[in-house]
Amino acid sequence: MLLSAFAYTHFVNIADSETQKELSEASGPGAAMLGSYDYAAQDFFGDSNAMLTDFAKTEIRQMLVDQPQQLLIIEVAAASELQDGARLRQWETVSARSAAIADAFEKAGQDGTQIVLKVPDKLVSKPADKQGVNLTFLSLETE
């Protein structure tokens, strides 16, 4: 299952050169933010796992009603690796959770080429003060 999450994370971030350019321009300073949603990690996931809660699935479906077919940036905060019962390393948890959210958006109707996963650059990052999930919708048109 974890391998599938990594493969999906990689697949979502791969796009042809034209789409990469479009996404890069759209996520730049000229892109208009259409909506930003912040959630506590425990609202979207159980402890030390990447399975979406029923609340998360409902929220994702509702977001696509409010923000249909826009560029979506998914960011899951890096968590401490010292959490009780944690069986995945920090980067594994972030990747698996990000992929689970992206997959749920695609299943709900979001175009997968318009999903960008923002993951840590390092295998181990400083844990975020606020453990959460940020979902940002941007316009695909540049000014």
Would you give per-residue pLDDT tens digits along the chain (143 residues)?
444 554 444 444 544 445 445 555 545 555 688 899 999 999 999 877 889 999 999 999 999 998 887 899 999 987 766 655 555 567 788 889 999 999 999 999 999 999 999 877 666 556 656 678 999 999 876 44
Question: Contact, 26 vs 139, CB < 8 A?
Answer: yes
Q: Can you tell me whether residue 15 is helix, strand or coil?
A: coil
Quickly count: other Cβ atoms within 10 Å of residue 70's Cβ.
21
Is 103 inside a domain boundary?
Answer: yes
Task: For Cα atoms 130, 94, 109, give the angle at the middle one, nearest 5 degrees.
Answer: 100
Question: Contact, 121 vs 31, CB < 8 A?
Answer: no
Task: Name the residue range of residue 9's domain.
Answer: 2-138
Question: Contact, 44 vs 105, CB < 8 A?
Answer: no
What is the tally of structural domains in the chain?
Answer: 1
Q: What order do you get walking across the sheet with 132-138 strand by strand? A: 33-40, 132-138, 71-76, 115-118
Is 143 inside a domain boundary?
Answer: no
Say which DSSP state 70 is in: -
Is 118 inside a domain boundary?
Answer: yes
pTM: predicted TM-score of the whole model, two decimal places: 0.72
How many helices (H) and strands (E) are present in the chain, helices listed first?
A: 5, 4
Locate 1 and state its tokens.
Answer: 């299952």
Q: Can you tell me whether residue 30 is helix, strand or coil?
A: coil
Is 134 inside a domain boundary?
Answer: yes
Is 109 inside a domain boundary?
Answer: yes
Is 37 inside a domain boundary?
Answer: yes
Is 59 inside a domain boundary?
Answer: yes
Strand partners for 73: 116, 136
Domain with 26 in it: what CATH number?
3.30.1330.60
Quickly count: other Cβ atoms within 10 Å of residue 42's Cβ.
12
